[in-house]
Structure 1
């Protein structure tokens, strides 16, 4: 069954990035941006811009009755996941496939509890360096969306459906046959880069060069490697080197989402990153001092909001 209609929930950096690309490749009515009426009114009044170009989006409220979408993309922050799950109810039908581009290792399981494991493919967004300020997004590298089946070692017809669609849309993607490891690898990356850049107050450049920020980032990532082994996930120093290579390709002037949150006075995803590491450390009796320190420093900033 060919994918023809797409629903995106969440117009943060990733939602704008993916939405603006797809909007240029498919009929406007076939790409639905799901948002409540208050948000829609604001988007229309202020407009949304991507690399200086105004985005022409087709907005749909959660209450609006439409045919189910063939593909639903979750691009919200973790704090907005529960509302987003409810908001896409009218978009999910018998043959709908779902990709969650959220950070962390838990969103797929939560979405599956509501809509079923048969609809959810595991996915990870990586390589993007988008910066969102107000209603304007700028980026140099779009990155790509990596996805695959929940069970390692398989590549189903559902994965092929999405891959065929992305190829047709010229949407950068990669199919991975070990998505649990990929999810943990992305968690390791975020635990390092998001938190180190947020605490040391700069951009990607601060962790691309030698120094305290980079050392802290790597130390935080190594704490994830130890915990992954306890969860039967085969993360290693080679994987850490791979993700450092991904970071080296990003624009030095770009900023990860947590740094953008701190600058804007928004609450961050620290619970999703250091919070997850700390809780798993307690579960297995393993100390995680670097992530504890990063957690405490970021929380201290948020107390002042």
Structure 2
């Protein structure tokens, strides 16, 4: 299968590397020229507890160089989804599937408007990775990946994709309730990302301290209330326990938002905690903890974004 990954940061590179190792034709498409150049010259280096592995795969900054894809995976930040959708439009063949594994709300809707809902699949992943530098990533936690059709239901193509992912060491299942998948991942991100970004701690320490544990409990409870008021049938009964499990599984990983703050980049706070605040305002549900976390992260951004 020819797979194009738009957004070759930590997670995009992790998926690309694993899929290339499994024998798939993989293209990493990213605007970071130094990263692309390093991969083209030396391969992508995956660092894990066992060893460092160099993987050869295609990498480019130019979408025109790629051609039509069987599968396009979107891994850009939520605020770049519109641009990624336009790029993906140039990669479509007759049966191309476009899969978003991004954080936050609204990404699938943006892709569907540009590409057509029938092409779009959504998913979540508990895999983890940290970008070490150009051409180098560190593998973080391991966990399941769930994918589903944006339009609902499960198609043979999705099952084929799940099989390919699983064979590549990315255990994947097809789920019929895609909207609930996205909300479930959102609530987990609500409990981890902003807190780690503000404190500088890795995922595993979020539940280790009484103070951050209480922040998790309050933020997650607000997000659960907003989800249920939105009519979402959440797949888990208690997301505090879900956050604890994910934090432990990815204990050595630095969240994507913490990585953004460390590298002085714009964060996805508006699509995560900020999305809970916005939905709560529409529904008349108070979300003071998520509002405070959102304001603090945006204040932190203003210290380095000019």
**TM-score normalized by the length of structure 1:** 0.89
**Structure-to-structure mapping, 1:106-125, within 5 angstroms:** 106-125=106-125
* Residues 125-144 of structure 1: CA deviation (Å, up to 9, x unaligned): 22x23221222211243433
Q: Distance in 2 between matches of 1:290 and 1:65?
A: 44
2:125 is equivalent to residue 130 of structure 1? no
How far off its partner does 1:235 sit?
Answer: 3.3
2:228 is equivalent to residue 233 of structure 1? no
CA contact (8 A) 2:19 2:165 kept: no
Q: Distance in 2 between matches of 1:36 and 1:293?
A: 33
CA contact (8 A) 2:143 2:249 kept: no
2:11 is equivalent to residue 14 of structure 1? yes
Secondary structure, in 3 states, of the residue corresponding to 2:65? Answer: coil
Matching residue of 2:104: 104
Q: Distance in 2 between matches of 1:287 and 1:194?
A: 20
Matching residue of 1:300: 299
2:23 is equivalent to residue 26 of structure 1? yes
Unmatched 5+ stretches in structure 1: none
* Residues 100-135 of structure 1: CA deviation (Å, up to 9, x unaligned): 011012111111111111111121122x23221222
Unmatched 5+ stretches in structure 2: none
RMSD between aligned alpha carbons?
2.3
Q: Distance in 2 between matches of 1:102 and 1:267?
A: 15
* Residues 124-170 of structure 1: CA deviation (Å, up to 9, x unaligned): 122x2322122221124343321012355x32223223223334444
**TM-score normalized by the length of structure 2:** 0.88
CA contact (8 A) 2:184 2:234 kept: yes
CA contact (8 A) 2:207 2:244 kept: no
How far off its partner does 1:241 sit?
Answer: 4.4
How far off its partner does 1:44 sit?
Answer: 3.3
CA contact (8 A) 2:204 2:252 kept: yes
2:45 is equivalent to residue 49 of structure 1? yes
**CA pair 36-271 structure 1, distance change in 2 beyond 3 A:** closer
Q: Distance in 2 between matches of 1:166 and 1:133?
A: 24
Q: Distance in 2 between matches of 1:250 and 1:304?
A: 32
**CA pair 45-82 structure 1, distance change in 2 beyond 3 A:** farther
- The answer to which of 268-277 and 251-260 deviates more is 251-260
2:89 is equivalent to residue 89 of structure 1? yes
Q: Distance in 2 between matches of 1:201 and 1:32?
A: 32
Matching residue of 2:165: 166
Aligned residue pairs total 297
**CA pair 228-88 structure 1, distance change in 2 beyond 3 A:** same
**CA pair 148-78 structure 1, distance change in 2 beyond 3 A:** same
Secondary structure, in 3 states, of the residue corresponding to 1:138? Answer: strand
**CA pair 166-274 structure 1, distance change in 2 beyond 3 A:** closer
Which structure carries more strand by proportion? Answer: 2
Secondary structure, in 3 states, of the residue corresponding to 1:49? Answer: strand
How far off its partner does 1:248 sit?
Answer: 4.5
Matching residue of 1:64: 65
- The answer to which of 8-17 and 278-287 deviates more is 278-287
**Structure-to-structure mapping, 1:174-185, within 5 angstroms:** 174-185=173-184
- The answer to which of 87-96 and 267-276 deviates more is 87-96
CA contact (8 A) 1:125 1:144 kept: yes
